[in-house]
Structure 1
Amino acid sequence: MRVRTATALVTGVAGAAFVVALAAPNAEAAAVGTATGYASANGGTTGGNGGATVRATTGTQIHQALCGRASSSTPITIEVSGTINHGNTTKVSGDSCNTAADKIELKEISNVTIIGVGGGATFDQLGIHIRDSSNIIIQNVTVKNVKKSGSPTSNGGDAIGMESTVRNVWVDHVTLEASGGESEGFDGLFDMKDDTEYVTLSYAILRNSGRGGLIGSSESDTGNSFITFHHNRYENIDSRTPLLRGGIAHIYNNYYYSLNESGINSRAGAKAKVENNYFEDSKDVLGTFYTDAAGYWQVAGNILDNVTWSSPGEDTNPAGPNLTSTTSVSVPYSYRLDNASCVPDVVRQTAGANTGIRTSTGSCSTTNPTTPPATTPPATTPPATTPPATTPPPSGTNLSIGAGSDGSSKASGTSYGDVRDGSLSTYWSPSGTTGSISIKWGSATTVSRIAIREHSGATGAIGAWRVLNGDTGAVLKTGSGAGTITFTATSLKKVTFEITGASTAPRVAEFETYAA
């Protein structure tokens, strides 16, 4: 019988507190699912499977958990909840660890899983650094606003960074985000350099950053290789999605939205297998950019939706507008490809932290959550002030009439267009109890108020929700229950109503939008 562990703190030498594992019944899985892509090669990536499981609500406790092991390779799973920041993270010393005060330091260790549980785990302005380490899993966490300049600083401005002989890392169902580019103090969201191999980034959201991430820190740092990116959402990123210098990368079933300057940048001899991705409203999504050191690509099945291309030049070699392979790449593992046409839908349902760790089935549908990390606000969350569904809609012109619409999943017999047809008898419903529906326009439109009107067959079903700027991913408002929702006037091409909790399958009859 598997034994689950609980956390206890004891005082050691010089008053240092260390985490120890105490036996408790009813084990949870160390990590949800199994590593995919290149992280499944080279012996595989299992993290802390088979070891103790401890809980941590501070960065110091994470470091204590690492330092309290019998050795630097003793397997351990650290279940994290709450907000981890500079205020609760200190350096901890011990024979089995090498930590730091300004980051979560995974240095000279192996066999570790860090997984967000409960109401979620957020590393706020505090990066995660992996150095000289192997067999690491990071799952279901948010890392945001990590800076290399300004205050406070952490991890060279990288949300997650790896360097110096790193092997077998699986980063899965995470949200990595910044609030600007280098001039605002941020660097990369997901960086690998100095001999990093066998890494997979899957079901992640990377957004609102100047730089998505790199493989290789310079044209001479070409010893990094065997990296897989699949079912990730890149949104409002200037460049590096990723930047590859040498090595081999497999990039499939990702959804790219609003890449502002360039996307996948293969250079210095790198080879990228790029297949069944969906690129939307973006520029120069694939090629060799900002250098004359050529990289190469194998392409198949990708969809380009409103993608623009620069003219070729001395240091600009775009792969489009007519994508053609310049190399061939074989991968050593099996994988299932979604058709590119459904990738936006699948990725919206699965990517990011606190989404239930859903995955794709490989046939344009998704699995049910495998584990129950909470995806709805805790019971102590105050009720939203949103008026009830019976509140009359705002006065003025409903901007949804004549607009477009899309969304995540949809239940059989329902349609995205039914939320903007002016009829309360038709509706959109997600395939489960959560999902998102969007209204979109061909040009920027100012919106400050929406009205969500439920179908009579499911009144009161909608629980927790978020209103998102569909162009940037920014959260405009959160709350619960259907009705009229007001927020700061925002100019956008797309507004999204995301249902994160419901008592039963919700039915949205009308998604009305108003300028005021």
Structure 2
Amino acid sequence: MGRRSPSTRLQAALAALAVAAATGVILTIPEASAAVAAGATGYASQNGGTTGGAGGQTVRATTGTQIHAALCGRASSSTPITIQVEGTINHANTAKVSGTSCNTAAGVIELKQISNVTLVGVGAGAVFDQVGIHIRESSNIIIQNVTVKNVKKSGSPTSNGGDAIGMESDVRNVWVDHSTLEASGGESEGFDGLFDMKDNTQYVTLSYSVLRNSGRGGLVGSSETELSNGFITYHHNLYENIDSRAPLLRGGTAHMYDNHYRQLNESGINSRAGAHAKVENNYFEDSKDVLGTFYTDAAGYWQVAGNVFDNVTWSPKGTDYNPAGPNPTSNATVSVPYAYTLDSASCVPDVVARTAGAGKGLLVSDGSCTPQSPSPTPTATASPTPTATASPTPTPTATATTAPPSGTNLSIGAGSDGSSKADGTSYGNVRDGNLSTYWSPAGTTGSVSVKWGSPTTISSVRVREAAGAGTVTGWRLLNGDTGAVLATGGAAGTVTFPATALSKVTFEITGATGTPRVAEFETYA
């Protein structure tokens, strides 16, 4: 984004001041970002990274209405902004505010159809009391150093469907850090999940946070067929007194490391419907069935290493209940595309107790089991225990050609899924060898995937469009196992890339002239 002219900046500042005058927002007009701990880690560091409101104005807010006003006072819905929050946000002070750069509602903090926003607690702290944070159709969001508690979906008052933080509908790149999410019971008491993701939410990290006293920790995917979510990292978090869903994974890839799980009452990490979980150097304590596939016969997968199981009990296996224990072993290999460091599992309870949650000074660990202030630019160092890590590599930009690849189309006979589909279309149409059938997203953008039951090596794909209302003008090709970007480009066609072994490859449409129609998504060795 280029810098605005002085006159444009002045007009934007005056507009912001007008909103501030009406709502009491405290504005800092110069374009300078507030201090935010280090940088995004895990999957939130991928897909271009997560920087939130860096480079934009800093705004102070003490009510929910002021938060909405700050969003609505921006020049556009993507103008970077950091909102420093202090005090208690509740239903009485959270009203809808209108504007061209926002889409808000009363009784819930709405980060909807926006991008480039940081929400950070400052001063004596920020508490969202019975008011949830709803992220929808948005990207590049940071939430840091806040407490969200007692959000209800039934009873009074209600907010955000009962989720403390909920993400849905084409959400990308969210980093929630050093926050406390808590309830006071389960569904029968009116609460739902603490940290939920559904309907094509990807590239999310939850770090150094506390989730406690809830029937449901969080889910990824709303049903066994809603498999468009994934690439989630959970590290250095405390899950305490949670009945289940710590988290529940329906499809997708997740990485859990250096978390402390204490008093998981019914089940913990529930990997199902083809999900892949990398579970390493966590400390599980005083809990039951902390890892497995539960309440379904749709299998999930996991890779385990370096975990400690302290007073963990395991139930017998059944047709729809498959605990990983009592001696958990890996049933898959799960790789991630980013570098990271591991604390030894034995010190995780101490490290997490000293770092996780709001009001802990944003302390982090560098793998030495010693909490410390974050560095402005974190770098990965050697792990204390062996682990395979990978550094991000530049994303290749490809020019698609019309020449068909040679060899056998490996998509025939494979499986498929996607982010959304228009009425009358099917994911399976992209692998049936029939150019008269097709898949379309439920809009101008979306993704469709081809997947196999075991890793398959491919080095080229061919995307063939059917005539229709729109034409693809921008796309990304993703390794569906790791989230790594294999290639990006404009027009669809044949794309080659270094040979890659994967179980799933995704064609994500990022731009189109209308609703595109993909007749075939061919894959070749």
**Shared fold (TM-score greater than 0.5)?**
yes
Rounded Cα–Cα distance in structure 2 between residues aligned with 1:11 and 1:197: 36
Where in structure 1 do 4 or more consecutive aligned residues deviate above 6 Å? 6-9
Partners of 2:18 and 2:83 in 1: CA distance = 19
Report the 3-state secondary structure (helix = DSSP H, G, I; strand = E; otherwise coil) of the residue aligned with 2:97: coil
Pair 1:352 & 2:357 matched: yes
Q: Within the alignment, does 1:85 sit opposite 2:90 as a pair?
A: yes
The aligned counterpart of 2:196 is 191
* Corresponding residue SS for 1:234: strand
Normalised to the residue count of structure 1, the TM-score between the two structures is 0.68
**Residue of structure 2 equivalent to 1:227:** 232
Distance 1:18-1:65 versus aligned 2 partners, 3 A rule: farther
The answer on whether the counterparts of 1:276 and 1:337 sit within 8 Å (CA) in structure 2 is yes
Out of 61, 64, 69, the residue aligned to residue 59 of structure 1 is 64
Aligned to 1:326: 331
Q: Does 1:38 align with 2:60?
A: no
TM-fit CA distance, 1:16: 5.1
Contact 1:226 1:249 survives alignment (8 Å): yes
Separation in 2 of the partners of 1:59 and 1:327? 45
CA-to-partner distance for each residue in 1:143-175, whole Å, 9 max, x for gaps?
Answer: 000000000000000000000000000000000
Could you report, residue by residue, the CA deviation over 1:312-359 in whole angstroms, capped at 9, with x for unpaired residues?
A: 001100000111101111101000000100000000000000000000
RMSD, aligned α-carbons: 2.1
Counterpart position of 2:404: none
Say which SS state the counterpart of residue 176 (structure 2) adopts.
Answer: strand
Q: Matched residues in 2 for 1:223 and 1:349: separation?
A: 35
Q: Distance in 2 between matches of 1:65 and 1:336?
A: 37
CA contact (8 A) 1:310 1:318 kept: yes
Deviation at 1:363, TM superposition (A): 1.4
- Whether the aligned pair in 2 keeps the contact of 1:7 and 1:21 (CA below 8 Å) is no
Look up the match of 1:165. Answer: 170
Asked whether the equivalents of residues 84 and 126 of structure 1 are also in contact (C-alpha less than 8 Å), the reply is yes
Please report how far the alpha carbon of residue 11 of structure 1 lies from its aligned counterpart in structure 2 after TM superposition: 4.3
State the alpha-carbon separation in 2 of the partners of residues 11 and 252 from structure 1.
Answer: 46
Match of 2:223 in 1: 218
2:281·2:307 contact (CA, 8 Å) conserved in 1?
A: yes
**Helix, strand or coil for the counterpart of 1:345?**
helix
Aligned partner of 1:337 in structure 2 is: 342
Q: In 2, are the aligned partners of 1:113 and 1:138 still within 8 Å (CA)? A: yes
Task: Determine the structure 1 residue equivalent to 2:128.
Answer: 123
CA contact (8 A) 1:18 1:65 kept: no
8 Å CA contact retained: 1:172, 1:204: yes
SS of the aligned residue for 2:134 comes to: strand
The letter of the residue matching 1:65 is A
| Contact 1:8-1:21 at 8 Å conserved across structures | no
- 1:288 maps onto 2:293 in alignment: yes
Equivalent-residue separation in structure 2 for 1:16 and 1:344 (angstroms): 47
Given that residues 124 and 143 in structure 1 are in contact (C-alpha distance below 8 angstroms), is that contact kept between their aligned partners in structure 2? yes
Q: Give the 3-state SS of the residue equivalent to 2:254 in structure 1.
A: strand
Deviations 1:267-302 (A, max 9, x none): 000000000000000000000000111100000000
* CA–CA separation in structure 2 for the residues paired with 1:12 and 1:187: 34
Q: What SS does the corresponding residue of 2:65 show, helix, strand or coil?
A: helix
The structural deviation recorded for 1:365 is 1.0
- Aligned AA for 2:150? N
- Partner amino acid for 1:146? V
8 Å contact from structure 2 (residues 115, 138) kept in 1: yes
Aligned mates of 1:70, 1:28 — CA distance in 2: 16
Show the counterpart of 1:446: none
Match runs of 1:235-314 below 5 Å: 235-314=240-319
Give the share of equivalent positions with the same residue, in percent: 76
Are residues 1:315 and 2:320 paired? Answer: yes
Residues in 2 aligned to 1:150 and 1:63: alpha-carbon distance in whole angstroms: 25
Alpha-carbon distance in 1 for matches of 2:47, 2:369: 29
> Could you tell me how far apart the structure 1 residues matched to 2:294 and 2:338 are?
30
Q: Which amino acid aligns with 1:314?
A: T
CA distance in 2, matches of 1:251, 1:273: 6
Pairwise CA distance, 1:364: 1.1
Q: 1:362 aligns with which of 342, 360, 367?
A: 367
Aligned-partner Cα distance in 1 for 2:25–2:100: 14
Is the Cα–Cα contact under 8 Å of residues 356 and 369 in structure 1 kept in the other structure?
no
Aligned-pair CA distance for 1:33: 1.2
Is contact 2:289-2:312 (8 Å) kept? yes
